[in-house]
């Protein structure tokens, strides 16, 4: 058969709507690139996050279709192992489309490997070595948040990340106080994520109040692109600060270096689907290590296709810190996969199989 490359979207449905300071999520659209030439095939997820991704723009659908046509017309040279995505002048604007860049990186690795689901051959994939992860607590009413916390702790999680900033702050503090009264810091690590919800004029006071509960770190306390205000918070905050949304708009290495040197955060959160893939993620890790900045890796509500790729890349870093990779179970219609969570770790269970055929039958064949 003729070499074929297809781009299509797929809507993921949340089992329970997830609350953040940006609103409640009930459904998330993601995109895929699929390539096939006779028996060889590969797949990559382009994780467009509406309202957050740098490439959330009106021409996205047109762009991903044009990229699929270009790869199909240059199939042999694109999938030549010695080339990289950066090798092609026609793809030089992909730094403006980080989710497509992320998908193309996966697509090429997937196609070139004998097992199309193996992108990084690490002990996570080959030997079923689990990756420590945090339990994610969505925003909502007090009872809803409390029930999530109890469920995660019963499942063995010893690191929780709680979304804050959307409901009454005193209520959020009360929930954190209740957790700490039952689980001291040596039993449970607490991270919080404000998604930029705090006002810069009151953020420091809120950070001081949060510090009463031995919080490990807070992600993005104020909105992105306020470098000097964020830098001041870093110097004064009693809680360590991690950058998240701040990194999304940085489109080259100079901007990356300037941002990290100016703000000097304690941590950065790496989301390959929003930053532009693994090569850029590696650049962030190198720069962070040079500046003595900590880091961890987080998925950004990808399907199991993207989550699998991110998890394998994460395992190649040999980090022992809990990572943010527990989002695969959020959807009622996720692609069935060998990814499983047990005892607060993510595993790739070789005895389980992928069920990709229904997706391909509907959108490709």
Q: What class is the 123-348 domain? A: alpha beta
Residue 226 three-state SS: coil
Alpha helices by DSSP H, listed for the chain, are 60-73, 75-78, 98-112, 123-126, 142-154, 169-182, 203-210, 227-236, 253-263, 272-275, 278-290, 304-315, 357-363
Contact between 343 and 152 under an 8 Å Cβ cutoff? The reply is no
**Active-site annotation, residues:** 163, 271
- Distance (Å, whole) CA 27 – CA 13: 5
**Between 3.20.20.80, 2.60.40.1840, 3.30.390.10, 3.30.230.10, what CATH number should domain 4-116+357-363 receive?**
3.30.390.10
Q: Do 123-348 and 4-116+357-363 have the same topology in CATH?
A: no
Q: Along the 365 residues of the chain, how does pLDDT read in single tens digits?
A: 689 999 999 999 999 887 665 677 889 999 999 999 999 999 999 999 998 999 999 999 999 999 999 999 999 999 999 999 988 999 999 999 999 999 999 999 999 999 999 999 999 998 889 999 999 988 778 888 888 888 999 999 999 999 888 788 999 999 899 889 988 999 999 999 999 999 999 999 999 999 999 999 999 999 999 999 999 999 999 999 999 999 999 999 999 999 999 999 999 999 999 999 999 999 999 999 999 999 999 999 999 999 999 999 999 998 999 999 998 888 999 999 999 999 999 999 999 999 998 888 878 76
Q: 365 is written with which tokens?
A: 């064949």
Contact between 7 and 31 under an 8 Å Cβ cutoff? The reply is yes
Q: Is this model's pTM higher than 0.75 or not?
A: yes
What does the domain layout of the chain look like in residue ranges? 4-116+357-363, 123-348
Residues 216-275 pLDDT 10s: 999 999 999 999 999 999 999 999 999 999 999 999 999 999 999 999 999 999 999 999
């Amino acid at each position: 058969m003729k070499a074929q490359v297809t781009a299509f979207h797929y809507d993921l449905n949340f089992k329970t709507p997830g609350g953040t300071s940006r609103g409640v999520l009930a459904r998330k659209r993601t995109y895929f690139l699929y390539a096939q030439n006779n028996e060889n095939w590969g797949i990559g997820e382009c994780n467009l996050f509406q309202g957050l991704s740098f490439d959330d723009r009106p021409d996205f659908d047109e762009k991903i279709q044009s990229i699929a046509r270009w790869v199909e017309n240059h199939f042999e040279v694109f999938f030549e192992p010695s080339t990289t995505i950066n090798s092609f002048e026609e793809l030089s604007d992909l730094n403006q489309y980080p989710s497509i860049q992320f998908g193309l990186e996966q697509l090429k690795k997937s196609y070139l490997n004998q097992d199309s689901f193996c992108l990084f051959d690490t002990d996570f994939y080959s030997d079923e070595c689990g990756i420590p992860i945090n339990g994610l607590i969505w925003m909502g009413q007090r009872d809803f948040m409390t029930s999530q916390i109890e469920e995660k702790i019963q499942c063995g999680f010893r690191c929780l990340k709680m979304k804050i900033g959307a409901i009454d702050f005193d209520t959020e503090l009360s929930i954190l106080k209740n957790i700490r009264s039952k689980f001291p810091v040596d039993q449970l690590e607490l991270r919080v994520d404000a998604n930029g919800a705090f006002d810069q004029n009151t953020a420091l006071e809120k950070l001081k109040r949060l510090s009463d509960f031995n919080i490990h770190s807070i992600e993005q306390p104020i909105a992105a692109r306020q470098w000097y205000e964020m830098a001041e918070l870093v110097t004064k905050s009693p809680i360590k600060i991690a950058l998240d949304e701040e990194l999304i708009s940085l489109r080259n290495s100079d901007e990356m270096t300037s941002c990290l040197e100016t703000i000097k955060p304690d941590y950065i959160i790496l989301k390959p689907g929003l930053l532009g893939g693994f090569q850029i993620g590696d650049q962030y890790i190198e720069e962070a290590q040079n500046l003595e900045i900590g880091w961890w890796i987080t998925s950004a509500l990808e399907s199991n296709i993207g989550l699998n790729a991110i998890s394998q890349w994460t395992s190649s870093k040999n980090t022992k810190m809990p990572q943010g990779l527990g989002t695969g179970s959020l959807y009622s219609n996720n692609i069935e996969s060998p990814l499983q969570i047990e005892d607060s770790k993510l595993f790739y269970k070789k005895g389980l199989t992928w069920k990709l055929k229904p997706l391909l039958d509907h959108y490709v064949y």
